Chains A and B, each alone.
Chain A
Amino acid sequence: MENDKLVIGGKEFDSRFILGSGKYSMKLIEAAIKDAGAQIITLAVRRTNTKEEENILDYIPENVTLLPNTSGARDAKEAVRIARLARELGCGDFVKVEIMRDSKYLLPDNYETIKATEILAKEGFVVMPYMYPDLNVARELQNVGAATIMPLASPIGSNKGLATKEFIQILIDEIDLPIIVDAGIGKPSQACEAMEMGAAAIMANTALATAGELTLMASAFKDAIEAGRKAYLAGLGRVLTRGASASDPLTGFLH
């Protein structure tokens, strides 16, 4: 376990919890770092682009990696522009590409995401694309230089859990990049389940932001993610589909 690191773009992380950017508050960032152990914090560039006294950037400790995202981008071109701006703002080379052309469900546009990932990877960014779990798209993202793949579990902010479970499992099985489950995880048990499946990390925001007690929920996520990871590494025990297993082997008559 001690050597079990999450590696993204050559950088090692001990924590497998990443804080999303949807519902931001300073309290949330604090809880994510202290109680959930987050080492990566997503940052909406459009929200940092402000003169506000309480600038989010000031609240991020130095040992925490900033993951600026391109939220607000409607196509590849806009995402690339926002990513470059993030770099200029001193946010480093990590970037989460998220491109939405749908203001109702905020579902990612896979096609534009591939285009933006290709451009940004060539420019030396560590690109972490948010996507709808589609195997062909994930392969293409890998081909064009993505550092991870970030499939959604269910619509963002919905807390509905692993609605796309089967498809995320396929990505985990087939793609040789860390698969980070992003969006829709509403409870620690769901995070744990995704980790048991072999997900490399969990990104969440709303599940914490809308919890009754923020700090307690943050630590619950930490425990759940660690438990799921351990279970995955240990190899899950078998599950019986029906009835019990006979103690006498059925083929006992064969000598």
Chain B
Amino acid sequence: MENNFLIDSEELSETALRRKHQIENDPSSRINHMEYLPGMDVINSDIQSKVIEEMNSYDYNRYTGKDVLRALASDKCTIEDFKALLSPAAEPYLEQMAAKAQKETSKHFGNTVYLFTPLYIANYCENYCVYCGFNCYNRIKRLKLSMEQIEHEMQVIADSGMEEILILTGESPAKSDVKYIGEACKIARKYFKMVGIEIYPVNVEDYKYLHECGVDYVTVFQETYDSDKYETLHLMGNKRVWPYRFDSQERALMGGMRGVACAALLGLSDFRKDALASGLHVHYLQRKYPHAEMSLSCPRLRPIINNETINPLDVGERQLCQILCAYRIFLPYCGITVSSRESAEFRNGIAKIAATKVSAGVSTGIGDHDEKYNGEQTEASGDEQFEITDGRSLEKMYIDMAEEGLQPVFNDYIYVG
């Protein structure tokens, strides 16, 4: 079973269509995805090879129930234990895994759950990533917010009580350059206690600049750690360069960022291998940068505008739960974010087991917070990146989390430069 990603829009010109088909059908028309482009920092890190070697040699069918039970009985979780917990052999032990994960979460985070919201400020994109609603061949309404619009959006969000914001853009260094993002972050500092970004990967100097603008957390999804598969999904644009993306978290930390987040987009490739690689990416980063705060996300594929059929294939909620329990047991100190891609029911449940952060009041579109939060018509808004499942407001999320016996937290952070 595969997703059918390749959709042609009637609005595309003949030249554009020809180019699109060529890049889809003729691998030789694409750039080498393993080669850094001119201007990209090359940091020669050892983490890439460590993660990839482990991932490539991971034969998850080799593990048995005995390995899983040993992992669950142990005080420490080794890489071998982590592999067992991610294997099919662990599926019958999901309840035990959840119990252990819950204990670990409570040891490190108590019963707290952090709330935040994402804010998309632009959806222009120069990449052709076949599964993404923002991809350059997808005909959607594009928009880039002005500084006044950004400030207005932030005011609306801050008025709802939110104290942490994640600023996102499509990947267009031309339309939304680092300076533009930096200015937006400066405004964000005025309204929020904590500012994170999820933008295209940039060089160390740029991360340094963004940190000076008030950013402390950088999220970059690797999408899939299988570079061969990656190549078939990211056909065009800077994002095609797999190793530069892999190094993003390290460059961010070198630029002075306080924390970083990793993730694979589950459903794109072999999810067990991708989950293993995501966990190991965090594990090795933490060893190398022990002061850094580490987080993981666990996005699953979602439908997009013009392609309603996209789905996460074999990664059901049970599988996702297994992955998250394994993450928690292997990385007890790691923050785990579960986004509004997942249902309210799933998020309520997983917040009690492994997740430490959930988003609320979410829109993945551009400039529509007034409409969403206050019911006021917005003149112009840009289309969304993907369809969300859990549309709960901050207020509703706060109540629901408290009802689950959790303590919702808006801020646990102080910017010290």
The interface of chain A, by Cβ under 8 A from chain B, is 22-25, 44-47, 49-53, 72-74, 77-78, 81-82, 85, 100-106, 157-158, 206, 209-210
- By the criterion CB–CB under 8 Å, are B416 and A103 in contact? no
Q: A101-B290, A158-B107, A209-B110 are in contact. Are A46 and B410 (CB under 8 A)?
A: no
Q: Which residues of A contact B307 (CB under 8 A)?
A: none
B112 partner, pick from A23, A52, A81, beta carbons under 8 A: A23
Which of B407, B410, B416 counts the most chain A CB atoms within 10 A? B416
| B2-10, B122-130, B291-299 - the one binding chain A | B291-299
Q: Distance in Å from the Cβ of A119 to the closest Cβ of chain B?
A: 14
- By the criterion CB–CB under 8 Å, are A47 and B111 in contact? no
- By the criterion CB–CB under 8 Å, are B291 and A101 in contact? yes
- By the criterion CB–CB under 8 Å, are A49 and B112 in contact? no
- Can you list 7 A-B contacts (CB < 8 A)? A44-B412, A50-B163, A51-B410, A82-B416, A104-B290, A206-B110, A210-B106
Can you name the residue of chain B whose Cβ is closest to the Cβ of A209?
A: B110
Q: Which residues of B contact A49 (CB under 8 A)?
A: 193, 411, 413-414
- By the criterion CB–CB under 8 Å, are B107 and A45 in contact? no
Contact digits for B374-417, partner A, Cβ 8 Å, 1 yes 0 no: 00000000000000000000000000000000010111111011
- By the criterion CB–CB under 8 Å, are B411 and A50 in contact? yes
Q: Distance in Å from the Cβ of B399 to the closest Cβ of chain A?
A: 13
The interface of chain B, by Cβ under 8 A from chain A, is 106-112, 161, 163, 193, 286, 290-294, 333, 407, 409-414, 416-417
Q: Which residues of A contact B414 (CB under 8 A)?
A: 45-46, 49, 72, 82, 85
- By the criterion CB–CB under 8 Å, are B411 and A47 in contact? yes
What separation, in Å, do the CA atoms of A104 and B335 have in the docked complex? Answer: 11
Q: Distance in Å from the Cβ of A35 to the closest Cβ of chain B?
A: 19
Can you name the residue of chain A whose Cβ is closest to the Cβ of B161?
A: A51
Q: Which residues of B contact A45 (CB under 8 A)?
A: 414
What separation, in Å, do the CA atoms of A104 and B77 have in the docked complex? Answer: 13
Q: Which residues of A contact B107 (CB under 8 A)?
A: 157-158, 206, 210
Q: Which residues of A contact B407 (CB under 8 A)?
A: 24-25
What separation, in Å, do the CA atoms of A102 and B294 have in the docked complex? Answer: 11
B412 partner, pick from A47, A82, A158, beta carbons under 8 A: A47
- By the criterion CB–CB under 8 Å, are B290 and A50 in contact? no
3 closest A-B pairs by beta carbon, nearest first, are A23-B110, A46-B414, A101-B291
Q: Which residues of A contact B410 (CB under 8 A)?
A: 50-52
Can you name the residue of chain B whose Cβ is closest to the Cβ of A51?
A: B163
- By the criterion CB–CB under 8 Å, are B416 and A104 in contact? no
- By the criterion CB–CB under 8 Å, are B413 and A157 in contact? no
What separation, in Å, do the CA atoms of A52 and B109 have in the docked complex? Answer: 19
- By the criterion CB–CB under 8 Å, are B413 and A46 in contact? yes
Q: Distance in Å from the Cβ of A165 to the closest Cβ of chain B?
A: 20
Can you name the residue of chain B whose Cβ is closest to the Cβ of A26?
A: B407
Q: Which residues of B contact A85 (CB under 8 A)?
A: 414
What separation, in Å, do the CA atoms of A46 and B114 have in the docked complex? Answer: 13
Which of A50, A74, A81, A209 counts the most chain B CB atoms within 10 A? A50
